[in-house]
Structure 1
Amino acid sequence: MRNIAKKLTFGAAAAAALTLSAAGSAQADVLTGWVGPAGTNSTGVVFLNTSTIINSPALRAESKIYSSFGQTVPTAEIGVRARLFKSGALCEATTYRYNPRPAAEFTLGTTATCGSGWYNSHGFTAVWDGTSSYKEALTFPTNPLEWIDPTASPSARSANTGPSFDSGTNGSGQTFGSGESATNDAELPDLVAAIGDDGVTVGYVRKSDLVDGPAENPQAAAAQSGAGRTVPLLDQDGKTQLGTFTLR
């Protein structure tokens, strides 16, 4: 079967970035997405969430959940998993972390960088419903923000191009492409465009390796070590390994 593929030279974030009047500017900045609903717990506490992208002093994508009126909830009842995208490809994704002590809010951020370019933040939050499960919610994505790698050569800084990857279906019937527009894990393609641990190699991560739902209950969440896991970074054939991608 022939691959059916469409070339994507820029992801949604980069395309939007080109419309910004400040395009080309790399000044220190912070952009926060719209505030969204994050669910209600068993005692009626209403939660909201949001994402933030920061480009100075270091690149960081944060997702945050918080109670609407500052009410405190017990340990491990609210959780976050953050994601950093570079022009539609995942640069970093975290596993779920939970509030380690009673709190009214909880924020989690990324630490990776994938070279100069346009980045945005787009994560997930979770609230314990008090009886059977965590209710997960997507944060609204931030607008794209430019980050310039201070260690890069002048020519590399000026190039500042987004990762190039394909979208389509491979010979094994697996879909591949960006996961940036997916509103939940079920909507992800079988192979999700990502940038490897070296910060350069562009490939794909299996959806099954990337999916990281909330814990079974607060007791299980509190017992988690917080350690991430490393998975293969694959070519679009879903077989050839190009490198690794670590969920932190």
Structure 2
Amino acid sequence: MTEDLTGKRALVTGAASGIGAATARWLAAHGVTALVLVDLDGPGLAALDMPCEVLPFPGDVTDEALWDRIEAEAGPLDYAVINAGIAGGAPIATMTLDEWRATLSVNLDGAFLALRCATRLVRDHGAMVLTASVSGLKAEPGTAAYGASKAGLMQLGRVAAKELAPRGVRVNCIAPGGVDTPIWDQTPFFQEMIAQAGGDRAAAMAALSGAATPLARFATADQIAAQIGFLLSDAAGTITGTSLVSDGGYLL
């Protein structure tokens, strides 16, 4: 894409790695003037090398005080990418309430706080993208908390799209299927796959993607970042309140 974002300011949460870091790089490469970057991983934020002004805010996205500080210090926004999230999986029968709450807290409460802040800071005719998941659309065993959080996030995005439409602000979701990011390494079943592959993570990822998608491939973080960039861009100027599924055919 040839989108020129010179003079624009963007917020990205979960920016220290994976889709968040790739999206920050995409925005910087397309000329964004300032990036407001949020992540629990402070050293990871500090390690990012961006060719634009960076305002790092290390902290927990579920901390309302963090968002009060961002609202006071970040300045106006043109774009927001609400991406921070965690993985987790357990059957409903064995899931503890603490496990349920941990996933919903980050993936939905944290997203609400980020969205509320962005809604207050975004200028008219801006755009936002929320990172949801195909797990919010398709039921699979062991995904109750994660899937529910992402389904809730997509509905949150639709409501925000309707509330912000009078200001010309668009709100959409991206719903990836498998993406090769470090979030997989947090899941017990993928850790087991790596062990079964003799510690070869690449082989485990190839086996996982081959079994899970008709295209036999997972997306890279950079591919999802480019799709987020499209949703933010003027090329998507009439698209709002929708979820772009990018899953290699998993839903088919």
Q: Do Structure 1 and Structure 2 share a fold, with TM-score over 0.5?
A: no
TM-score under structure 1 length normalisation: 0.30
Q: Which has the higher strand share?
A: 1
TM-score under structure 2 length normalisation: 0.29
Q: Which has the higher helix share?
A: 2
